[in-house]
Amino acid sequence: MLRRWPAEGRIIEEPASGRRLRQITTWSAIHHHPFFFVDAFDEAANFLAFVSHRTGAPQLFVEHRAGGDLLQLTDIDGLSEWSVIPARDGSFVYFVADGVAMRVDPRSGKTEALAELSGGDMGGTGMVGAAMGTTALSPSGRWWAIPLNIGVAYRFLVIDTQSGATEIILERDTIGHPQFCPDDDELILYAGPMTDRVWLIRRDGTCHRRLYEREHALQWVTHEIWWPGRRSVLFVDWPNGLRAVSVETGNCTWVSRFPVWHGAPDRWGNCLVCDTNFPDRGLHLIDLGMNKSDQARFLCRSDATSRGDHWGRAFPYNDGPVKVYAPQHTHPHPRFAPDGRSVIFTSDRTGHPQLYEVGINVDL
């Protein structure tokens, strides 16, 4: 399926920062890019992948960066909208729909099925954690990891994208937010239960282990993400700041005391962009390099509603799962473009979630 839509991009001024924002989508419907730890672009930044509800159901789109035109790549039922993940080389965008693991060529629109995901589903719509249905693609694009909800537990599948062969590498109570190490095709980070979040496993299912254990019963560990080039994992110690734990030694250190909410580093691991909440201070940049400073630099306001009242309270999950209202398309989830010169984020400032881009030291 390949349907072309005219470019919608327009430049708007953001008074608080003095920066110019590029609003990428304008249709009166829900739009969002992939999750904060998932690249929205191919490595060459030829296209930006996003989800749009403009046709009445979530569908996969790309913006071709050269001309700004929008291409609708799917017209299917049951798209698991947070499963979307582009391959680094731009050959495919991967997604799950109606229990089938699929991929589409962003140039031709040709779609193919890789594997049937029988016996489970991708979880609830608009929910948090494991139920969101995020997936992970290895740096080479060879392996695709998918957590599958099988009712009383989760099953961790790894698909060989060359052959379509599928292997179950783990079953346990909760498996969410899978992420391949950006420097290692064999190492996967995932989130366990809210009280015991940070876990590692090899791609073949071996060496399954907890990387970090909570220090006390009210500590809120969340929003884990790889630190590129460091073989370390960054995580939010909400609302106290950002920490890092070494895969090799297990040593845990504070990176910043700034109240990061969702934070994502650039591809070199030198700078992190984050959003904020309770209170919303806008988007900020934090230096992770050799001369790092604990000071966060204001980037711009997002003016997203950032729904989720539970974030304003003490850790609520010690007595088990808690039903929350936190639609993810209301969260900014900022993410660097591959060249590190701009940031993509989502905001419902207009009443509908739209995609925006802000330049860091350049005009868009």
Whether 232 is covered by a domain: the verdict is yes
Please say if the pLDDT value at position 362 is more than 50: yes
Domain count, the chain: 1
Q: What range defines the domain where residue 112 resides?
A: 3-359
- pLDDT interval class at 320 (50, 70, 90): confident
Q: Is residue 10 part of a domain?
A: yes
Is residue 129 pLDDT above 70, yes or no?
Answer: no
Q: Whole-angstrom Cα distance, residue 76 to residue 97?
A: 8
Per-residue pLDDT at 295: 84
What integer pLDDT is reported at residue 145 of this predicted model? 98
> What confidence category does residue 130 fall into, taking pLDDT thresholds of 50, 70 and 90?
low
In a domain? residue 224? yes
* Cα–Cα distance measured from residue 193 to residue 295, given in angstroms and rounded to the nearest whole number: 31
DSSP annotation of 295: P
Tell me whether residue 364 is in a domain. no
Task: Tell me the CATH number at 124.
Answer: 2.130.10.10
Residue 190 located in a structural domain: yes
- Across the range 15-25, mean pLDDT stands at 95
The edge-to-edge listing of strands for the beta sheet with 70-72 is 3-5, 70-72, 59-64, 47-52, 31-32
Q: Which two tokens stand for residue 142?
A: 């060879």
Which among 158, 117, 116, 163 is positioned nearest to 138, based on CA atoms?
158
**Whole-prediction pTM value?**
0.95
pLDDT of residue 123: 64
Strand order of the β-sheet with 79-86 is 79-86, 93-97, 100-104, 111-116
Count of CB atoms within 10 A of residue 232's CB?
22
Structure confidence at residue 361 as a pLDDT band (50, 70, 90)? confident
Look at residue 127 in the predicted model and tell me its pLDDT. 41
pLDDT at residue 24 is higher than 60: yes
pLDDT tens profile 48-92:
999 999 999 999 999 998 888 999 999 999 999 999 999 999 999
